[in-house]
Chain A
Amino acid sequence: MSEEMRRDARIYLLGEEVAQYNGAYKVSRGMLDEFGPRRVIDMPISESGFAGMAIGSAMMGLRPIVEFMSWSFSLVAADPILNNAPKMLYMSGGQFGCPIVFRGNDGAGGQLGSTHSWCVEGLYSNVPGLKIAIPSNPYDAKGLMKTAIRDDDPVFFLESERLLSIKGEVPEEEYTIPFGKAAIRREGTDCTIVSWGRPVHFAMEAAETLAKEGISCEVIDGRTIRPMDWTTIFASVRKTNACVVVDQSWSFASPGSEVAAQVSEHCFDDLDHPVLRVHSDDVPAPYAQNLEQEMLPNPRKIIAAVKKVTYRA
């Protein structure tokens, strides 16, 4: 973010506790000192107001980055972020775009209870006009964030609190990762596992275990949900003839369901078994640690699904 703000004065950051507090999760550490309070702006707890305000400024050509401390709090800003940002270009017949990035923590796993554990990709991926990026590691986070900031369309950038502590190689130099380009995290021949965001790590863990049992999995990290890299996914399924989707949102009408439907439609003659999905259980996120872990997608559930689609159960 800092690199981009040095490049373009139209970019500014606003959100709760982003400035003086250095970010609720310390994501914006040091940015106030560098850019000053006119470009790194603390907001009151007023998501609907500041999200709408940032959208208004983006209509005029500024390029705001809006931090939601948690994507769970974006629900109170649903009208501006879903009714204004993604529809402005269309409703104005191409006159006013909305180059804006909304970012924040998404997903459960920290015993925060149900209201603070939303996986909003399940809700928001339904809406045309916006893009959704969901990095699974620090390297991707930087490259995707740069693309998001430079994108002329509204981007929802879904980070995971659980992944913020992951250390990874992040080169100092300039690079971007295009949207709609998946990464193959592991090559394999027996089953394709499609995932994005935090569950990519569970998929990798599962693939590791399955490899010991002689089942070779190909793990695809989608990186962005809108656009989704169908080319890479379809090519992999045509090779392995089996597909499991791992998605931390609820299953009903989710991005995971969309992948299952698209694969079934486009790779029907290549499938040896119907596509299976591993999601969070269809219940509100519980507080108790054991229940919460059981609810989320985990390696055990992924392994069971892969065995089923490869007829090894």
Chain B
Amino acid sequence: MPNATLASNLASHLVKSASVTRTEIPGTTLLKWFYDMALIREFEVRCMQAYQDKKIGGFCHVYIGQEAVAVGCVAALEHRDPIVTAYRDHGHALARGMHPKHCMAEMFGRIGGCAKGKGGSMHMFDKANNLYGGHGIVGAQCPLGAGLAFATKYEDEVIKGGKSDRVTMCFLGDGALNQGALHEAKNLAGLLDLPVIFVVENNGYSMGTAIERGTTMAHKIITKAMGYGMEGIEVDGMDVLNVYASMKDLCDRVRATSRPAFVDMRTYRYKGHSMSDPRKYRGREEEEQYEAEDPIGKLQKFIKDRKVATAAEIETIVDRVKVDVRDAVAWADASPAPGLEELYHDVYVEKWGPYTGTSLPEMLRESGVRSQE
């Protein structure tokens, strides 16, 4: 049946204005966002192609349509703020600054991947960019997100004796709304005053189940924040400027008050849940309605209208994205498969029995991150 509830809700009731206004955002920032969003889209398109070419195995969940969320949210954070997300994680990794070649090599299961090809599509980690993982079990990242916030606060206040100064952003899909782990995490975050923002990337479907078939109060999921004593806001996630402005304000508040918050981020995935999903549960009209709302197209129009860049300059960025992703695919393809010695590596920090200890992936060695402290 068509998902009428979500569509009709998108129009109103969302946070549209915030203290940061659209005109304040510098042109260079807009162009960077445009590049990042276009990069994610092109990256995902090539992932789909590579999956069909059997270069990518297992599950593959693409982020097409939701680009404004990762890019806008990451822009609202400081680089030192940790983030953690679920399995649809390529977009967050790229938005956070992971080089697409390491991301693609991980997709291909190659040694050059962010996790040496041992994590795969659903498990993107980047210590240099404070990305604490994509996590494959629905909702499992929520207690971890609370734990990251616990740790930043503990470090800042208990160890250093200062004031809590970092915000953790924990992304989840609307499917995770019904997992116990989320509710336990929210309860603990509320109880311990943890500076964590749970961002529900509400694309209306948990796999093929429309949100109102899976969760109560689907039209107003921020009610699920109130019960835990935390602020909840609704944001139109199809507009990166709006995402940034709303999330920037929220991050400032969470940073200042060290209280958790909850965001109903309305978005849409244009593609199936995973590569094997034919999307028979929703109509093509519904998809087209959202495609008309395309966040990249919207940003492009804004850039043109504000005369930040000409059509030709935008075309140049699009071309650069294509080249960059093509280079990433080529690099990933050239990266060798992990050697068999990797099988028993990184299981334990300590060397014992058949286990050979641990070491950082090439990606981090390039960026100079130190090994386990």
Query: Chain A: residues with CB nearer than 8 A to chain B?
Result: 9-10, 12, 38-39, 41, 43-44, 46, 48-62, 79-80, 83-84, 88-97, 99, 128-129, 131, 151-153, 179-180, 227
Contacts and interface: CB of A to CB of B under 8 A. Distances in A.
A9 B144 CA distance: 21
A84 B146 contact: no
Q: For the complex of A and B, list the 5 residue pairs with the smallest distance between their C-beta atoms, beginning with the closest.
A: A56-B147, A52-B143, A49-B184, A93-B115, A56-B144
A131 B127 CA distance: 24
B94 to A, nearest CB: 17
Given A53-B147, A56-B143, A56-B146, A92 B347 contact: no
Most A CB within 10 A of own CB, among B126, B350, B371: B350
B123 A91 contact: yes
Given A10-B159, A61-B151, A93-B125, A49 B116 contact: no
20 contacts: A39-B158, A49-B143, A52-B142, A52-B143, A53-B188, A56-B132, A56-B143, A62-B154, A80-B140, A89-B346, A90-B118, A91-B119, A91-B133, A94-B371, A95-B126, A95-B127, A97-B372, A151-B350, A152-B372, A180-B352
Interface residues of B, number: 60
Interface string B319-346: 0000000000000000000000000011
Contacts of A227: 352-353
B148 A128 contact: no
A49 B114 CA distance: 28
Contacts of B346: 89-90, 93-94
B82 interface: yes
Given A44-B191, A52-B143, A89 B349 contact: yes
Contact of A59 (B114, B117, B148, B361): B148
A51 B118 CA distance: 24
Contact of B361 (A83, A95, A129, A180): A95
A10 B371 CA distance: 18
A95 B124 CA distance: 11
A60 B152 contact: yes
Nearest to B360: A94
A10 to B, nearest CB: 7
A197 B132 CA distance: 36
A9 B146 contact: no
Interface string B7-38: 00000000000000000000000000000000
Nearest to B125: A92
B185 A53 contact: yes
Interface string B202-238: 0000000000000000000000000000000000000
Interface of B: 82, 84, 113-119, 123, 125-127, 132-133, 135, 137, 140, 142-152, 154-155, 157-159, 180-181, 183-185, 187-188, 191-192, 345-350, 352-353, 358-361, 364, 369, 371-373
A52 B139 CA distance: 11
A60 B119 contact: no
Contacts of B84: 56
B146 A49 contact: yes
A176 B213 CA distance: 55
B151 A56 contact: yes
Given A49-B188, A91-B118, 12 more contacts: A38-B158, A52-B147, A53-B150, A58-B147, A80-B143, A89-B358, A92-B133, A93-B115, A94-B116, A94-B345, A95-B127, A97-B349
A92 B98 CA distance: 14
Contacts of A99: 349
Contact of B125 (A12, A54, A91): A91
B159 A93 contact: no
Contacts of B369: 95
- A50, A51, A56, A91: most-surrounded residue (chain B CB, <10 A): A56
Contact of B127 (A51, A53, A96): A96
A45 to B, nearest CB: 10
A83 to B, nearest CB: 6
A41 B183 CA distance: 19
B115 A92 contact: yes
Residue among B116, B133, B137, B183 with the most chain A CB within 10 A? B133
